[in-house]
A and B are shown apart, each in its own frame.
Chain A
Amino acid sequence: MAQIDIKNVRKEFGTFTAVQSSSFTIEDGEFFMLLGPSGCGKTTTLRMMAGLELPTSGEIYIDGEEVGMKPASERDIAFVFQMFALYPHMKVGQNMAYPLRSQGMSKADTNKRVLEVARILGIENILGMSVGGLSGGDRQRVALGRAIVREPKAFLMDEPLGALDAEFREHMSEELRALHDRMGATTVYVTHDQLEAMQMGDKIVVMNHGVVEQFGKPQDIYNWPATKFVAQFIGSPPMNFLDFKGKVAAGDKSIKLNDIEIEIPVLKTGAEGEISLGVRPEHIHFSDKSNYKGRVVATEYLGTNQLVTLETANGTIKARTESTKLIKTGETIGLAFDARTLSIFEGESGLALPSQANEGVLQHG
């Protein structure tokens, strides 16, 4: 098992820059998520770790060894493809044995090892089947099996659950996480699904347009997004922005929103111009005492809770509240915010302003 270090890695395809100078570290044994919308460079980054693409510049270290320019076959990592990429002309057992045979392992040892791994995955009964007739879940297990048999330094997975249907995904993601915990293998997992990332990951890197936007624990990223992009990409519905024009300075404890004072975490730096106050839907409370008002435009019933769409002087926002609360469309409600949960973003760059609350977790690529 291994630690993976990505240092200033950059990848260009002709004139298009897929990944811009990214750096982060994947600790030994971590379940690490590369998260971002399609085309953000997450898969390219993963493929560079695997050796399927060579970086234009920068270094990749696996266990302290620089492997950036080494061919995939010499890196001792396993890769799980979204489309599984099981060799269609081989049986399940042969597929799983294939990486071992390349290392020159004897037939007897190979069979023993394949059977061992098949037992872990619960697929020992299908080893003799051809891969064509397998269900999505079994294909996925075989692909995992092929990755596991070799006991590689790390597992790299490119949206491995992307080809499964929703119901089965849930089950498989639990299985995958359990497998990881059992083996303690360093795993890098690419996904565009923020829920999956938060559910499964020890750590998340959020990428956009080839840039690492933020890198950290799921809770930190959710609570203290480093950029407006992260704030909107993570969470469903996303973080609300209350936009205003004005000026904030280091040491400020509050801002004026539509002439109403709202407490915020103590700022470490200031900004001027377009500024946004970021607040998660579940952190908006309804309080008649509050002077900051919003008019209810719509409500969505979601079982245990409901989403309330409100129009305010600073834009439309969504709040999450218990579904037992009776809220009528058209009524005007006072909105209260908890100072400990708010973020301030600079409008133009979209960066979060460091404050007492988030300074420990803000990390930009």
Chain B
Amino acid sequence: MSFSVTEPSRRQKWIAGSLVVGYALITLIPLLWIIATGFKSSADSIAYPPKVVFQPTVEGYVNLFTTQTRMGEDLRAEPREDLPWYEQLVREKGNTIVGASRYSERFFNSVIIGFGSTFFAILLGTMAAYAFSRFRVPLKDDLLFFILSTRMMPPIAVAVPIFLMFRNLGLSDTHAGMILLYTAINLSLSVWLINGFIDEIPVEYEEAALIDGYTRFQAFYKVVLPQATTGIASTAIFCLIFAWNEYALAVLLTSGTAQTAPPFIPTIIGVGGQDWPAVAAGATIFLVPVMVFTILLRKHLLRGITFGAVRK
């Protein structure tokens, strides 16, 4: 087989392009299906054969955010033009809204716990990685290996001891507990990844700053950090994705105050029959923050993943 550095032919481009499009479709279809289901009516969502073309409705979203109850016959007969559109929508089904659902609370918990744990994992990870990279740490290699070894089993394997510990420490179903837990799990990843990135930054930059009259800490945050942003950003995305999507430990350790969205979304099914549009709506909204975060840091992410592969 021979390789050429010339421009690929039209045919080659066409083949490569269709492969990429094909792969994108395969990965995107489930996602698109979920987004579409969120806008279907209950009947359309379970129709067989499945409906690709349907009358869109925001019923699922209204159901997701509200708690409803059946109305009495007399109330149903009475026309109420003064009610807002979502009340009207619910009334058509013979229901009435009695309050907000818990979804927004759970979603907000996910934001606090996901971003909070990412922040701490990056903060501590960066400082530890800098120390490992720049100072003579006794038993450095063993310590780094030990840190990595915490990643060698699935976190759920230690769920029972963590459950018992959390219960004794009063951390069960608290935001602090979940942030602590996710930070601890992500820390090994962040120390290792960021350590690699900082190793790539020549020491001379800091030395130049030291000689230019800056302290070690100033050199760290004025010279090293700006250059490590790529690595830190991509590490932050990985940490956030883990904390955001984590399900098993969240099911086990949270039930009320600190429950995150992943364990909550499945419980929507049980409210008033199998309300798939509401579940899909919940999943769709849940996808947005990670997507926005990833798109914002997209440039860094791509550079971060291929970092070190190409010598500058």
Q: Is B208 an interface residue (CB 8 A)?
A: yes
**What's the Cα separation between A150 and B208 when bound, in Å?**
13
- Expressed in whole angstroms, the Cα–Cα distance for A164 and B213 within the complex equals 27
Tell me, yes or no, whether A73 is within 8 Å of chain B by CB.
yes
Contact (Cβ within 8 A) A85 B205: yes
Given the complex of chains A and B, what is the CA–CA distance between A72 and B223 in angstroms? 16
With beta carbons under 8 angstroms apart, the residue of A75, A79, A89 that contacts B208 is A79
Across-interface contacts of A24 in B (CB, < 8 A): none
Are the C-beta atoms of B227 and A72 separated by less than 8 Å? Answer: no
Please tell me if the beta carbons of A52 and B227 are within 8 angstroms of each other in the complex: no
Q: A360 at the A/B interface (Cβ < 8 Å)?
A: no
Specify which chain A residues have a CB less than 8 angstroms from the CB of B214 in the assembled complex.
73, 102
Cα distance, A72 to B202, chains bound together (Å): 18
Q: Are B211 and A87 in contact (CB under 8 A)?
A: no
What CA separation (Å) do A24 and B304 show in the bound complex? 48
> B212 touching A102 by the CB < 8 A rule?
yes
Given the complex, which residues of B lie within 8 Å of A83, measured CB to CB?
202, 204
Q: Out of A52, A88, A89, A103, name the residue touching B211 (CB < 8 Å).
A: A52
B210: interface (CB < 8 Å): yes
Report the minimal beta-carbon distance from A72 to chain B, rounded to whole angstroms: 4
**Is there an interface contact between A102 and B202, defined as CB atoms closer than 8 Å?**
no
Q: Is the interface of A mostly helix, strand, loop or mixed?
A: loop
Residues from chain B with a CB closer than 8 A to the CB of A87 are 205, 208-209, 223
A146 to chain B, nearest CB (A): 7
B205-227 vs A, Cβ < 8 Å mask (1 yes, 0 no): 10111111111001000010011
Interface size class of A (residues with CB under 8 A): 20 to 34
Q: In the complex, A77→B208 CA distance in Å? A: 11
Asked whether, in the complex, the Cβ of A73 is within 8 Å of the Cβ of B208, the reply is no
Cα-based distance from A83 to B201 in the complex (angstroms): 12
A98 contacts across to B, CB distance below 8 A: 209, 212
* A102/B213 contact (C-beta < 8 A), A83-B202, A85-B208 known: yes
Please report the C-alpha to C-alpha distance between residue A72 and residue B208 in the assembled complex, in whole angstroms. 10
Q: Do B204 and A72 have beta carbons less than 8 Å apart? A: no
| Cα of A52 to Cα of B210 in the assembled complex, Å | 8
In this assembly, does A205 line the interface, its C-beta being within 8 Å of a C-beta of chain B? no
Q: Is A61 an interface residue (CB 8 A)?
A: no
Q: Is A162 an interface residue (CB 8 A)?
A: no
Q: Given A73-B215, A87-B223, do A81 and B207 touch, yes or no (CB 8 Å)? A: yes
Q: Report the contact-size class of chain B (Cβ under 8 Å from the partner).
A: 10 to 19
Would A72 and B211 count as touching, CB distance under 8 A? yes
B173 to chain A, nearest CB (A): 44
Chain B residues within 8 Å of A50, by CB: 207, 211
Residue A71 at the chain B interface, CB threshold 8 Å: yes
Q: Of A71, A88, A150, which is within 8 A of B210 by CB? A: A71
Contacts of B213 in A (CB 8 A): 73, 99, 102-103, 150
Closest A residue to B210 using CB positions: A72
Binary B-proximity of A84-110 (CB < 8 A = 1, otherwise 0): 010111000000001100110000000
Q: Which of A51, A77, A85 contacts B204 (CB 8 A)?
A: A85
Report whether A52 and B212 are in contact in the complex, using a CB–CB cutoff of 8 Å.
Answer: no
Residue of A nearest to B204 (CB): A85
Which residues of B sit under 8 angstroms from A102, Cβ to Cβ? 212-214, 218
Is A78 an interface residue, CB under 8 A from the partner? yes
Complex Cα spacing A103 to B213, Å:
7
Whole-angstrom distance between the alpha carbons of A21 and B299 in the complex?
A: 52
Q: CA–CA, A102 to B227, complex, Å?
A: 19
Shortest distance between the CB of B41 and any CB in chain A (Å): 54
A52-B207, A81-B208, A83-B202 in contact; A88/B227 too (CB < 8 A)? yes
How many angstroms from the CA of A81 to the CA of B206 in the assembled complex? Answer: 12
Contact A85:B212 (CB < 8 A) given known A72-B207, A79-B207: no
In the complex, what's the smallest C-beta–C-beta distance from A22 to chain B, in angstroms?
22
What sequence of 0s and 1s flags, for each residue 57-77 of chain A, a beta carbon within 8 Å of any chain B beta carbon? 000000000000001110101
Rounded to whole Å, the gap between the CB of A135 and the closest CB of chain B is 16
Q: Which of B179-217 contact A (CB under 8 A)?
A: 202, 204-205, 207-215
Give the CA-CA distance A75 to B209 in the complex, in Å: 13
Chain B residue contacts of A146, Cβ below 8 A: 208, 212
Q: Which residues from chain A contact B218 at a C-beta distance below 8 Å?
A: 102
Going nearest first, the 4 A-B pairs with the smallest beta carbon separation are A85-B204, A102-B213, A99-B212, A85-B208
Give 22 pairs: A residue, B residue, CB < 8 Å, sorted on A: A50-B211, A71-B210, A72-B207, A73-B210, A73-B211, A73-B214, A73-B215, A75-B211, A79-B211, A81-B204, A83-B202, A85-B202, A85-B204, A85-B205, A85-B208, A87-B209, A89-B227, A99-B211, A99-B213, A103-B213, A146-B208, A150-B213
Extra A-B contacts (11), CB below 8 Å, given A51-B211, A99-B213: A50-B207, A72-B207, A73-B214, A75-B211, A79-B207, A79-B208, A81-B208, A85-B202, A87-B205, A88-B227, A150-B212
